């Protein structure tokens, strides 16, 4: 039986241009973002300008992680102790984590079998919970109907903050993910769409909000050295009001990231070719379904998800994962009883109020997930789909 030999966690190397730029920063000894000569634009400021232009927002702030971008956004939006913040039940732990870390209370919204938030549940919880904000997590790159989401936010006076860790470069009706609400939060951690090991980017168009966020990120009085920040006058109040949270990005990471923005369109094409090859293979497997990709959505296929039938027991799911793993295909499963690796489920986040989410539980019990790193080829994805097809059939026979 054929075995797949590549690693699901192996990203591409940093480009030679990025390496050269990072080495220049190292040789200069000036690694701190504010350690620049008079009139010089450091790599962090250059990155902020380039990313703001790429996304199409006036302001961008570079920080230490996507999680920090979310925490800073929530605080700068005025969210604090006891406030209720809605978010998707299907997401990654740092999302409810960001809400809890500002002292607010995560209120989890049901997820549909299309892996998007259930908008009826969102609306009823917006009203019932007296929520102040929605931290919308575009988990695994699946965008909900953004016109419907923004209408719900308007009706219920909800502040919208977008978690775009998996939608950097994605669009809804041609508009960049991360530009639909008060703020968009991005991650440049190794497994996302740009890679600096760790890092985060926050974009917005509201000057007062961005001034508060900048102070929170630990700008001291150096905010004029930012690349895409508000005017000095916008800091008049924020500079006295906001605590300094020391979450600045350093010059080495920014140097590594700078030319990754220019190569995003090309890499998006390559991710989508991988997704397409995998999706074509999965489409032929009986009982396996893929979430639909609405035509309004310009997605980035850096991972793929599929659902098996409701008849699959947990035992059969576990046997299937083990059989795929034995053939080199690493699947994540959201139905496991205990958290594992990067994967955890809403009922594992005991720092948040626990409430049953039957619809989400039913979806996650039969949901599998796979990374598609750019070190794979479309032929690799075809082979992976073939292995999954064979093991799905075996799992059926075994059951
Ligand atoms: C990775 C991730 C984050 C957090 O990003 P970090 O940079 O690792 O803090 C937030 N949301 C989702 C959905 C993620 O996958």
Q: Which residues lie below 8 Å from residue 157, measured CB to CB, with a gap of 6+?
A: none
Say yes or no: CB of residue 217 within 6 Å of ligand 1. no
Say yes or no: CB of residue 384 within 6 Å of ligand 1. no
59, 207 contact by CB (below 8 A): yes
339 CA from centroid of ligand 1 (Å): 16
Q: Is residue 95 part of a domain?
A: yes
Domain-ending residue, one of 245, 262, 279: 262
**Is the same domain home to 140 and 168?**
yes
CA–CA dist 116, 146 (Å, integer): 11
**Is the same domain home to 61 and 163?**
yes
Q: Is residue 298 part of a domain?
A: yes
**Is the same domain home to 298 and 250?**
no
**Is the same domain home to 35 and 161?**
yes
**Is the same domain home to 258 and 268?**
no
Q: Please list, residue by residue across 82-117, b when 16 or more beta carbons sit within 10 angstroms of its beta carbon and e when fewer do.
A: ebbbbbbbbbbbbbbbbbbbbebbbbbbbbbbbbbb
Quick one: average pLDDT of 292-314? 96
Q: How confident is the model at residue 394 (pLDDT cuts 50, 70, 90)?
A: confident
Q: Is residue 133 part of a domain?
A: yes
* Structural domain of 330: 264-398
Q: Which residues lie below 8 Å from residue 176, measured CB to CB, with a gap of 6+?
A: 55, 56, 57, 170, 184
Q: Is residue 193 part of a domain?
A: yes
Strand arrangement, sheet containing 367-371: 303-307, 367-371, 332-333
Best of 66, 162, 170 for a ligand 1 pocket test (most atoms within 8 Å of beta carbon): 66
How far from each other are the two terminal CA atoms of the chain, in whole angstroms? Answer: 21
185 CA from centroid of ligand 1 (Å): 9
Position in ligand 1 atom list of the atom nearest CA 65: 7
Residue 242, domain CATH: 3.40.640.10
CA–CA dist 146, 148 (Å, integer): 5
Residue-wise pLDDT for 36-62, tens only, equals: 998 899 999 999 999 999 999 999 999
Q: Is residue 3 part of a domain?
A: no
Q: How confident is the model at residue 199 (pLDDT cuts 50, 70, 90)?
A: very high
**Residue from 278, 286, 323 nearest 305 by CA:** 278
The residues that bridge with 131 in the sheet, in sequence order, are none
**Residue from 329, 330, 331, 334 nearest 386 by CA:** 329
CA–CA dist 73, 161 (Å, integer): 7
67 CA from centroid of ligand 1 (Å): 6
Complete DSSP assignment for 132-164: -EEEEE-GGG----HHHHHHHHHHTTPEEEEE-
Domain-ending residue, one of 262, 294, 329: 262
Q: How confident is the model at residue 128 (pLDDT cuts 50, 70, 90)?
A: confident
**Is the same domain home to 240 and 330?**
no
Residue-wise pLDDT for 243-277, tens only, equals: 999 999 999 999 999 999 999 999 999 999 999 99
302 CA from centroid of ligand 1 (Å): 14
Domain count, the chain: 2
- Compute the CA torsion angle 204, 97, 95, 117 (nearest 10 deg): -120
Best of 70, 72, 94 for a ligand 1 pocket test (most atoms within 8 Å of beta carbon): 94
* DSSP code at position 316: H
Q: Which residues lie below 8 Å from residue 394, measured CB to CB, with a gap of 6+?
A: 323
Q: Is residue 6 part of a domain?
A: no
The residues that bridge with 371 in the sheet, in sequence order, are 303
**Is the same domain home to 203 and 278?**
no
CA–CA dist 122, 128 (Å, integer): 10
**Is the same domain home to 106 and 199?**
yes
**Is the same domain home to 254 and 355?**
no
Predicted pLDDT of residue 171: 98
Residue nearest to atom 2 of ligand 1 (CA): 165
Domain-ending residue, one of 262, 292, 314: 262
**Is the same domain home to 247 and 285?**
no
The residues that bridge with 59 in the sheet, in sequence order, are 204
**Is the same domain home to 92 and 149?**
yes
**Is the same domain home to 181 and 278?**
no
Using the predicted structure, report yes or no on whether residue 76 has a pLDDT greater than 60.
yes
Q: How confident is the model at residue 318 (pLDDT cuts 50, 70, 90)?
A: very high
CA–CA dist 34, 222 (Å, integer): 7
pTM beyond 0.95, yes or no: yes
179, 146 contact by CB (below 8 A): no
Residue 315, domain CATH: 3.90.1150.10
345 CA from centroid of ligand 1 (Å): 15
Predicted pLDDT of residue 289: 97
Q: Is residue 9 part of a domain?
A: no
Say yes or no: CB of residue 200 within 6 Å of ligand 1. yes
Say yes or no: CB of residue 66 within 6 Å of ligand 1. yes
Predicted pLDDT of residue 397: 62
Say yes or no: CB of residue 165 within 6 Å of ligand 1. yes
92 CA from centroid of ligand 1 (Å): 7
């Amino acid at each position: 039986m054929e075995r797949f030999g590549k690693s699901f966690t192996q990203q591409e190397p940093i480009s030679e241009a990025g390496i050269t730029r990072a080495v220049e920063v190292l040789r200069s000894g000036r690694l701190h973002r504010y350690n620049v000569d008079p009139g010089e634009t450091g790599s962090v400021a250059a990155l902020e300008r380039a990313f703001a232009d790429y996304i199409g927002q006036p302001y961008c702030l570079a920080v230490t992680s996507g999680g920090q971008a979310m925490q800073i956004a929530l605080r700068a939006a005025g969210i604090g102790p006891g406030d209720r913040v809605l978010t998707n039940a299907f997401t990654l732990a740092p999302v409810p984590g960001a809400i809890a870390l500002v002292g607010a209370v995560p209120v989890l919204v049901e997820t549909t079998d299309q892996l998007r938030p259930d908008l009826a549940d969102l609306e009823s919880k917006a009203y019932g919970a007296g929520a102040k904000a929605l931290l919308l997590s575009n988990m695994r790159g699946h965008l909900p109907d953004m016109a419907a989401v923004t209408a719900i936010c308007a009706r219920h006076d909800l502040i919208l903050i977008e978690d775009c860790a998996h939608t950097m470069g994605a669009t809804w009706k041609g508009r960049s993910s991360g530009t639909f609400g008060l703020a968009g939060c991005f991650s440049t951690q190794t497994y996302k769409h740009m890679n600096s090991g760790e890092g985060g980017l926050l974009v917005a168009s509201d000057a007062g909000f961005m001034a508060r966020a900048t102070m929170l990120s630990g700008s001291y009085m150096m905010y004029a050295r930012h690349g895409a920040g508000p005017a000095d006058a916008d800091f008049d109040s924020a500079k006295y009001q906001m605590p300094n949270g020391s979450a600045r990005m350093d010059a080495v990471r920014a140097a590594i990231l700078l030319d990754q923005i220019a190569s995003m369109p090309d890499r998006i094409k390559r991710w989508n070719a991988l997704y397409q090859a995998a999706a074509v293979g999965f489409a032929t497997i009986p009982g396996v379904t893929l979430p639909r990709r609405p035509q309004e959505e310009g997605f980035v296929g850096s991972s793929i998800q599929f659902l098996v039938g409701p008849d699959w027991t947990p035992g059969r799911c576990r046997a299937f994962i083990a059989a795929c793993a034995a053939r080199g295909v690493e699947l994540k499963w959201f139905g496991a009883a205990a958290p594992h690796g990067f994967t955890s489920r809403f009922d594992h986040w005991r720092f948040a109020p626990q409430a049953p989410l039957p619809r989400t539980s039913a979806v996650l019990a039969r949901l599998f997930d796979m990374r598609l790193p750019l070190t794979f080829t479309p032929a690799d994805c075809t082979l992976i789909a073939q292995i999954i097809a064979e093991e799905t059939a075996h799992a059926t026979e075994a059951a």
